[in-house]
Amino acid sequence: MIQVSFTVNGERVDALVDPRMSLADFLREKLHLTGTHIGCEHGVCGACTVHFDGVSARSCITLVAACDGHDVKTIENYETDARMETLRSEFSREHALQCGYCTPGMLMTSYDILTRFPDLDQDGIRREMSGNLCRCTGYQGIVRALQNAFAAKRNEG
């Protein structure tokens, strides 16, 4: 077992962990933060996306043993965050989800790119979101939601 100390959603976590345990399993099974979903478990689908030291990362292919000293944020961290509220509203307005399984990961990646880029056109949004799979929507609503969020960012100026 490996001793780790890191922060999750701003709170310090100290734990003894099995080296093979993924961050995704740790978040869900030990911290009961079940907003982080597990899909493919090999880094393809993006459902498990969290923020690792402030940028999006796949928690299913991050070992929790390797999180020592780092900062992890999950979808639960963004309950009252203004930027995430914009994204949630736009996802809702544009029907950017149906079953919702991919949605936490979609929102976490969206938050990263909305923070990272001053602006993105439709092609750029599609390229940046290409690592998050949705089997319900056909992506049109997700792309529109992000176009709206970038438009709102431009208007804030």
Return residues touching another protein (CB under 8 A). Answer: 2, 18-20, 22, 25, 41-43, 46, 49, 52, 55-58, 60-63, 65-66, 68, 109, 112-113, 126-132
Compute the distance between CA of residue 100 and CA of residue 150 in angstroms, rounded to an integer. 22
**Residue with Cβ nearer another protein (21 or 95):** 21
User: Scanning the structure block, which residue is given the tokens 């310090």?
Assistant: 12
Residue 137 Cβ vs another protein, minimum distance, rounded to whole Å = 17
Q: What are φ and ψ of residue 120, in 5° steps? A: -145, 135
Residue 89 Cβ vs another protein, minimum distance, rounded to whole Å = 22
**Residue with Cβ nearer another protein (50 or 93):** 50
Residue 1 Cβ vs another protein, minimum distance, rounded to whole Å = 10
Q: How many CB atoms lie within 10 A of CB 74?
A: 24
Contact 22, 62 (CB under 8 A): yes
**Residue with Cβ nearer another protein (95 or 131):** 131
Q: How many CA atoms lie within 13 A of 73 on its CB side?
A: 17
